[in-house]
Amino acid sequence: MMQYLGPLIVTSADLHKQFNTRSWQKHTEAWDYIFSTAKCFIDKRLKSSPAWSNDLLNTISSNHPLTKKQLSGLFTELQIGGVETTANSLLWLIYNLSRHSDVQEKVLDEIQAVLPPGQSPSADHLQKMPYLKACIKESMRLTPTVPFTSRTMEEDTNLGGYVIPRGVITMINFHAMTWNEDYFPDAREYKPERWLKPRASVNPFASTPFGVGKRMCVGRRLAELQLQLALCWIIQNFYICATDSEPCKGIISGLMIPSRQLPVSLKKR
């Protein structure tokens, strides 16, 4: 689905729909397949043994607030928007850390200073791990999972002296912003420390991996929590090792994905 999304972002989706373009056809075919697959698994799960009766799907279904069609839509969107994106962000985070063993040791030192041995991190523990959070923010700046997005202007807007008429599709290139040396010195270097500086030293709109305003990602806090917990567990248990020194480029396919299998291995601590 993601590979067909690009043309619909940079041009009017209404035009694609009106003229039934090949991009529109491929996009709708992909969504039809996704929804039919989700419906199949949802139906199978709802008919399964009572062992699963207390999971989220069965809880929502048993209280009857949603129809089967609405359930399919909800869990499909959750899968597409909340799993693939977070998993891809974790891939890039692991890759960036594999190239910086010194950063890994600093994260481990912070975790060990905050978290008692054998204990899982709580929200209070994570609040005391600013360097761990900085590592995630820096990875999302350097290798953003969503490198660009678009918006249709709702009204005439004067932006930096340029008048953008209502109805025009505008592109927001996150990648260009986060690699801008005016905002981030040594922008192509992975430096988590830059996020530990006073807030006034970093433009809050220079790196917005989850977007801003009313269209900001609704799953932001959940995604951040998942990444924090995952990184905490990985660093506690493994060394993240680079298996070669060649850079791994990104391919834009709706999301920015690695151009090859990540040159990374995990070694037990």
Binding residues for heme: 217
Cα(146)–Cα(12) distance, rounded to whole angstroms?
19
Q: Nearest Cα to 90, choosing from 227, 239, 257, 240?
A: 227
Cα(22)–Cα(27) distance, rounded to whole angstroms?
8
- Check residue 225 and report its DSSP letter: H
Q: Which residues pair with 170 in a beta bridge?
A: 151
Cβ-based neighbour number of residue 74 at 10 Å: 16
Residues, the chain, total? 269
Paired tokens of 7: 């043309």
- Phi, psi for 255 (deg, rounded to 5): -100, 165
Binding-site residues from annotation: 217
Q: Which residues pair with 252 in a beta bridge?
A: 256
Cβ-based neighbour number of residue 184 at 10 Å: 21
